[in-house]
Every structure is written in structure tokens, then in C-alpha cells.
Chains A and B, each alone.
Chain A
């Protein structure tokens, strides 16, 4: 008799089912000795013994995986004194340079360290994977961290190819356009969108075969953009669109209105009832943003606002067009910041009471860690002039108290900013000092 058979009787109840006889096993013999006056007591006693037998005699499972191969320990693990500092630096804006220091010195992190950092900073997945030691990479081989890194790596390689393509198009239009077409054929819809962006930034007459080829693309969005981009090239289509544009976008003073029109056949047919496609979307998208402004003699913001009023997505499309046409910003050299700049920043917080996070990050990253920052001395409270009308239900005293509280909170905020900044500078100093030790 097993627990299963006893349970079958217990489920139905001893009023409806008999207690099963014990089997001829050592356990059965022990169970047979448990004979009480009532079937209920017999069942419960036997359940107790069977339960204990089951608990005590659990059989081990078969391992589902073999033991992992023990890999050699890390050759250059992160020096122990840097680990707590790294964790603290990762909480602040100076984390990039800290991670850069690690990779520059070829120091590695263990899987446990990376998981700890990943748990509190999931956005750093792509930065952390390359820092893993050999063991860590084996342990976390199937972890989402790896997939995130692979994705980012593929994206970085793609960006590099796009950069090379941009340079090639600038150097030799014919070769550049041919290279673009080649890349077009081997990439997917997302990649083709990126290529269309490049074309929109600086379209070449040599791109026409690509645009014509793209008109047969599987993606409706790619087909639509390819048609519109043909209008960006000087030629009969652009002339037709330029003639049509002033009839469609009518300027009355500062106000722009959109009149009904018939979309030229070359731009295809807009999808019915689609929020992101209309005749107007196609017409405005088929001309470079700068040319739109020139022909209509309007400001960029004026056109965008009018389009937004017509439909929010049309406004977004024009904003995108404007963004793509803007020259790409060159990487700026890090700003030179001094303790004086920081003091000015603290003073502005004392006045405004708000800490701008981007300014804080700039100071935290670029201020010389040896800079001596004096704590901002609280400004004396000068009561502002009482407004002619106080907020409803407020007395003069309450209003003054509120002004004082606001002033105090501004001073406290400035002091908190000073504390945060000096702490990050201290961490950076400490980090640099230990780095020097392990040079």
C-alpha cells in the first residue's frame, strides 16, 4: 500500500471506501501492525507512517547537465581596491571613464561582479559584456547580457559601414551611389530605412536607379519614401511639385493654410485613413525641407506648427525632415571647467533652487578632480515684495513663511549639489590614486 492508495480512500472518505490492505513489502508489514479501532484512525496512522517513509526516502534526481569545465582563473582581474569604487562610480555620471580605464588596462570582471552591476544598471549591458573574464563569458554565455551586447555590436558595425558609405558618397558620387545600391541589396528593411536617411541628407542624381529599384520594395514605407525622394532630385517631378506647392500651402500674413489638391501620379496613392500617410504627407515629404521654406518664404517653425495643427504626424514628419537635413555635429572637445564655474553654478541654484542634471553631469565628468570646491555659503533671506493680491485664503504671514521656506530649500539644494559633486570628485581622485598604484 502506498500513500497514493491511502489518498484515494481519504479522498472518497472511509464512509464510502475501505482502507486498502497493506502490500507485502517491508513498509507494508510495518503498516499492517498499525491497526486501530476505527478505519479512520487506521487510515490516519498509516498515512502518518507512509508520509514519513516518503519524506525520508526521496530518491535523488538525475542531473540534467554535466559539470561545467573549470576554466583558468582571470589573468588580470580588477584589483580588489577598485571594486567598491567602481560600484560607486557607476552610480554617478563618471562611469564611462571608469569603464574605459578598465578596458584600457585590460582588467576583467567576474560573472558575479558583472551580474551585480547589471542588476543595478541594466542599461550598461553592452559596456559590461566585453569586460567579463573568460569564466564569466562561459557562465553568462546564454544570458540576455550577451544578446544585448551582440545586438549593440552589430549596430556599431552597421553604423561604421554607414559612415564609410557617407564618406565614399562625398568623395566620388558615382562610386558612392553604386556602393549604396550594393548595400541596399544585402540589407533588411531597417537597414534600408537608414540608407534612405543617408540619401535624404545628400541625394545624388546617381541615386535615381536605386530609388526606382526601391519602388518595388516589399515594405510599403520604403516604397513611399523612395517615391518621395525622387522629388528631391532636380528634374521634371521637382518642377511639377514646386509649381503645385504654393497652390497647396497658402500664406496669409503669418498664417499658413493647406488647400485641397491632386497628388501627382509619380508620388503614388496615399493609404486611405492612415494617420501617417496622406497626399499632404507625400507632397511635403517629396521636397527638401530647405526648399519648402525657400519656395513658401516661411520660417521652419512656422511651417512645422501649421503642419502640426493639420495633423500631429505631419508635424513630426516635417521635424524629421528638418533634422535629417541639418549637418551632423562634430564631436565636441570636452569643455574646460574650473572651480569658479562650479561656484557660479552653485550660486545659480541658490537663486533658482533647481539643479540641472546635464550641468551636474558635465561638472562631474570634466571638472579637474583636484579642484577645491568651497561649500556655498547660504544667502541671507531678503523678503521679496508682497504681491498686490495674495493667493486665495493666504494671510500675509503665511505667504512670508512660504517665501522663507522656499529660500531655505534653494540653499539646501545648492548645498546638496555641492555635496554630490565633491563626493564624485573625491571618488575620481581616489580612483586615479589607486590606478596610479597599479600602473
Chain B
């Protein structure tokens, strides 16, 4: 089923508000000498400042919308692609049925081929070779963590106050050593230290150093960990997703409950949260090096049907989705956590996986106050600093109690989607 695009869904694909605004400016049909569709592929020519118009296309055959543009923008989708999608969603402009130009057909064929390509089952790896590779890596990681333990002990012996005088180069150098030791997860945590270093009471940094030390100790005692706990440890250390350990979910029907894109060091990371009919939560992660395109992703509050598999974990959350088909727009369901249960849910999750950074939760019925999401009993959770503004949240709730899906990190809640109670699906 081709994707039902709405302007809101297109807006959600924008990499940043500036791109969306620029895309909206391009929704004047006068700026498009050609607007055409070839089945579920839309394409057009956008008149830029140069002599030749840019050739822009969007492949809407699958829910993970893909776009292509001949402009030199490093944003993805670029403003031209957003303009094209907005025009298409609004039904504006003179659209003609026309075959895609040759420049685009190669790209489309490639996408088609990749989609149709039968999934190649991972080769039965040579067990001996695999063990050898793992042993080599394990040795490297072990050495890295041993060095980390020493570094942490030195840091605590000298004191955080003394460390405040260190230059950024030193922290970056330590992070780089962790990357060399194939511990990118640890490197990321070390790069966060300078942000916490100048906090007056030092509590956050002390806890952060403890977090790093826990990784060291867990590694030392890894033989006593369960398979799932071991997988969580490896994930926290920065090992890539182990596809061999994926477990197929019982359900194929999901609601895109929201997504958020963030810059993490040199990476752009997108977290897309899915909600199952039974209240299951799944997290899809997309990564792209900075300034590289990140796929357009799934529009929020749309139903999806596809094969979802959870990564191995004591608290299953991260997942991969394949063969997703769009099922049209839908509201959040009315089966949610009460705010009072949020702490317990988080504590349980943390008890299973102490490395967990956040969980996706559906809360409700709630209302919004300045800096807070509140329930009718008068309890409240603090809103994340990058939460949408209060007017926007209250307008979505429309004076009603509302259901809200968002991320909880134990301290703040980041709302991603809101549905008023009367519109929530039963």
C-alpha cells in the first residue's frame, strides 16, 4: 500500500525547522517547472538560483520514504525534496503522469533491486575463525578497560577539582584510546565528561564515573552474566547490533509513536519508537555520519505492518523492522501507564539493564503545565529541555486529558506525540 502523506507527516521528516521552513517556501507551484508522478514515485524540477533546475524525486512505494535531489545540500531530505513532498501531500500544482528521467531511474532501480533482493542469511561463519576474531577483539577490549580502570582511579585520587584544569585535548585523547580499543560506547561516555566537569557539587560527574566503573567491573565479571545481560554489556561498550541474536516479535502490527533525531558526537542518530497493540515498545535506531543523509524514516502516528525483531537484551527495546507496509494514520491508544507507575517501570527496566539511557512510554491521561507533564492526582514529571513548547502541547490536548508518548530518562520526559482522550483508539 502506498504511503498516505499528510503535510504533518512531511513536516516530521524535516531534518530541522529551518529546512522545513525553506521547504514550505518552495510550495509555490511557480517554482516547479515540472511536477510529475510515475506510479508512486513523484518527481519534479525545482528552479534554484542556477540556470538549470534541480531534479528532485521521492519514492513513496514503501513507508520508509526515500528522496533524491541533484542539489548540493547536505541535509536530508533537502528543502527541494521537502517542497516536493509538501506539494504532493497538499495536492497542489499541475502534476502530470510521466516516466522518471534516466538520471533517477538508476536510483529507483537500485532501490527496487535492494527491496526485492532475497534476504541473504548470514553465512555459517567459520566457527574457529569467528572465535579467533572474537578472542582478538576481547583481548583488545579487555586491555582498554584495564587502562580505563587505572585512568578512573587516577582521576578520583587526584580529585575532580584538579581535573577541571585539564584541557579538552586530554579528554578527547582518552576517548580516542577507547575507540582504538574498540570501545566506542565508552568513548562516547568519556566525551560527555567535560560537560559535567564544572557542575558545582560534582554529583552528576561522580555518578557518571561510577557508570564507567560499572562497565569495567561488569566486563571483569562477564562470565557470570546471563546471555541477555552480556548482550546489554556489549551494547553499552559500543558493539554493533548482533543480528544473529535477533528474536522475532509475536506481533506484526505497530504504531509509529514518535521519533527524535539528535547529534551525538560525529553521528546523527534517529530514534523511532513503535508501539504494539499489546503495549509492547520497540526502538528503531538509524545512524548516519554527520552531514550524510539519514533515510527519511517513518511518519509519526501511522500504523505499520512488518516483521519486527528485538535485539538480545534483558530489557527488550531495541529492534529492527523489515518489509514495513504503511497502514495509514492512527491516534495513540488509550492503554497507557499512569504517571504514578512511571518510576516503578523505570526502576524495573534499570534493574534489568543498568546501562539503559531511556525508555519509550505511553502516559495518560495527563495534562501539561509549564515544564511539567502532570496527572489528575497532582503528580508531575519534568519535561525535557527540548520538549515542544507548552502552547503546542496544550493545543494538541485541546483542553482534554491526553495520551502522550515520549522518552523517559529517569529525570525528564520528552513528549513526541499527543492524542486527546476523545480521539485515542480504544
Contacts and interface: CB of A to CB of B under 8 A. Distances in A.
Given A7-B203, A10-B206, A140 B374 contact: no
Given A52-B354, A143-B391, A63 B161 contact: no
Q: Is the interface of A mostly helix, strand, loop or mixed?
A: helix
B240 to A, nearest CB: 25
Given A13-B162, A112-B396, A44 B31 contact: no
Interface stretch (A69-77, A278-286, A332-340): A69-77
A91 B28 contact: yes
Contacts of A139: 391, 394-395, 397-399
Contact of B210 (A49, A138, A416): A49
Interface residues of A, number: 71
A13 B159 contact: yes
A50 B90 contact: no
Interface stretch (A53-61, A253-261, A310-318): A53-61
Interface stretch (B107-115, B150-158, B304-312): B150-158
B18 to A, nearest CB: 13
A62 interface: yes
Interface stretch (A228-236, A241-249, A292-300, A418-426): A418-426
A350 interface: no
B92 A61 contact: no
A322 interface: no
B375 A63 contact: yes
B394 A111 contact: yes
Contact of A47 (B158, B159, B209): B209
A67 interface: yes
A84 to B, nearest CB: 5
A54 B346 contact: no
Interface in B299-317: none
B395 A138 contact: no
A50 B202 CA distance: 13
B43 interface: no
B161 to A, nearest CB: 5
A110 B422 CA distance: 15
A422 B343 contact: no
Interface string B357-388: 00000000001011110111011111000000
A10 B391 contact: no
Nearest to A137: B399
Given A61-B382, A73-B422, A48 B211 contact: yes
Interface string B59-93: 00000000000000000000000000000011111
A270 interface: no
Given A50-B210, A60-B379, A87 B90 contact: yes
Contacts of B379: 60-63
Nearest to B160: A11
A56 to B, nearest CB: 4
A405 interface: yes
Nearest to B164: A11
A417 interface: yes
A71 B211 CA distance: 48
A60 B340 contact: yes
Interface string B21-56: 100100111111100000000000001000100000
Contacts of B214: 48, 52
A38 B157 CA distance: 10
A15 interface: yes
A3 interface: yes
Contact of A67 (B158, B342, B343, B367): B367
B27 A63 contact: no
Contacts of A407: none
Contact of B398 (A38, A135, A419, A427): A135
B374 A4 contact: no
Interface in A404-439: 405, 412, 415-417, 419-420, 422-423, 427
Contacts of A417: 30
Contacts of A88: 27, 90, 92
Contacts of A55: 207, 346, 350, 410-411
B374 A65 contact: yes
Contacts of B94: 419, 422-423
B381 to A, nearest CB: 6
Nearest to B392: A115
B374 A44 contact: no
A70 B343 contact: no
Nearest to A143: B391
A38 B372 contact: no
A67 to B, nearest CB: 5
Contacts of B201: 4, 7-8, 11
B398 A50 contact: no
B208 interface: yes
A12 interface: yes
Nearest to B156: A40
A64 B94 CA distance: 52
Contacts of A44: 152-153, 156, 209-210, 213
Contacts of A387: none
B422 A416 contact: no
A116 to B, nearest CB: 8
Contact of B380 (A50, A54, A63, A422): A63
A64 B380 contact: yes
B324 interface: no
A92 B392 CA distance: 25
A38 B153 CA distance: 9
Given A52-B354, A139-B395, A416-B30, A16 B213 contact: no
A66 B399 CA distance: 12
A62 B380 contact: yes
Contacts of B367: 65, 67-68
B159 A15 contact: yes
A10 B399 contact: no
A55 B353 CA distance: 12
Contacts of A114: 395
A68 B203 CA distance: 37
B156 A13 contact: yes
B7 A58 contact: no
A63 B47 contact: no
Contacts of A140: 391, 395
A84 B90 contact: yes
B162 A59 contact: no
Interface in B142-194: 152-154, 156-162
Interface of A: 3-4, 6-8, 10-16, 38, 40-41, 43-52, 54-71, 73, 84, 87-88, 91-92, 110-112, 114-115, 120, 135-136, 138-140, 143, 405, 412, 415-417, 419-420, 422-423, 427
20 contacts: A6-B206, A7-B201, A7-B203, A10-B160, A14-B159, A15-B157, A40-B154, A44-B209, A55-B207, A56-B343, A56-B346, A59-B343, A60-B342, A60-B379, A60-B381, A62-B378, A67-B367, A87-B90, A110-B398, A120-B24
Closest 5 pairs (CB-CB, A-B): A13-B159, A51-B207, A47-B210, A420-B30, A48-B210
Given A61-B382, A112-B396, 20 more contacts: A13-B162, A38-B153, A41-B213, A44-B152, A45-B217, A48-B210, A55-B207, A55-B350, A58-B343, A62-B380, A63-B380, A64-B371, A65-B369, A88-B27, A110-B395, A138-B399, A139-B394, A416-B47, A419-B32, A427-B92
